[in-house]
Amino acid sequence: MTVAAPTPAPTAPHGPDAPDAAKLARGLRHQVGRAIADYAMIEDGDRVMVCLSGGKDSYTMLDILRQLQRRAPVKFELVAVNLDQKQPGYPEHVLPEYLASIGVEHTILEQDTYSVVTSVLPEGKTMCSLCSRLRRGALYAHAAKQGFTKIALGHHRDDIVATFMLNLFHHARLSAMPPKLLSDDGRHIVIRPLAYCREADIAAYAEAMRFPIIPCNLCGSQENLQRKSVERMLAQWDAMTPGRVDQMARALADVRPSQLADPKLFDFAGLAATPEGLPGAPPVGADIGPSLTR
């Protein structure tokens, strides 16, 4: 079901929580705007498919993108897309009513991936991975059919860091969720406008704005235990040393292949010293200080 609606300029947050929401919105707009600029996420003429799940992250992403759309020096289109996966008890009226109330063009796709997943996986097994792959396939197919130039997902800074730690601990590789991604088939550009945003700020903004949140546990599946364990660990670290998760996120944008150990990224075999050294390089130890070099 597709509903075309006018997209009026977003109104300022109002109601009893308006001051808090306005303050949070300023910070989130700054972070989303910086991420869009740093990674060239949105360009003039783009048609952006904003994937909306009904959770706090995707609601916030849509809301902040609409605010930036009004201020942006380039013209781009936003269309909200939700996939109704036919989970038992899913409140299918919530998103269409909300999107119509704010005047956003939207499409509700219907695909019974729930029955597919439950028919394949034994009872009690975590469904998240297979469900996610089926959802991604349906959304990518819709994006190709409708000619969207960008697909926006609601992953935030904490998701990116948690994914990095999961891959490090469980898959022995250094990788995370990039802010901008070319799909494996080369047909889609995926963007994550919330890449610089803290989950705590998103949660506070969603609460202040009173978005009609749809719970993500309707399928009855177990939580992704590995991810939840990593998230708890990161929360404990950040509580003990505030700013640690932010430092980890910043490190993902400052990768130095020569200081790691992957010969595919750096030519360790080709390293060779010369008597003259590198032009302009100070002697080793020159930065230690005279008192330590006597």
Numbered residues of the known binding site for [4Fe-4S] cluster? 128, 131, 219
Of 81, 52, 87, the residue nearest 213 (C-alpha)? 52
Q: Is the CB of residue 72 less than 8 Å from the CB of residue 10?
A: no
Q: Phi and psi at residue 32, in whole multiples of 5°?
A: -70, -40
Q: What are the helix (H) ranges across the chain? A: 18-38, 56-71, 94-101, 113-120, 128-146, 157-171, 199-209, 225-240, 244-251, 290-293
Angle separating helix axes 157-171 and 244-251, nearest 10 degrees: 70
DSSP letter for each residue of 5-23: ---PPPPPP-STTHHHHHH
Tokens of 49: 């498919």
Instruction: Enter the DSSP assignment of 192.
Output: -
Of 130, 106, 100, the residue nearest 118 (C-alpha)? 130
The residue behind tokens 């269409």 is 96
Three-state SS for 226?
A: helix
Q: Is the CB of residue 199 less than 8 Å from the CB of residue 156?
A: yes
| Binding site feature residues | 128, 131, 219
Phi-psi domain of 243 (left: phi exceeds 0; alpha: psi -120 through 50; beta: other): left
Q: What distance in Å separates the CA atoms of residue 272 and residue 170, rounded to the nearest whole number?
A: 35
Phi-psi domain of 284 (left: phi exceeds 0; alpha: psi -120 through 50; beta: other): beta
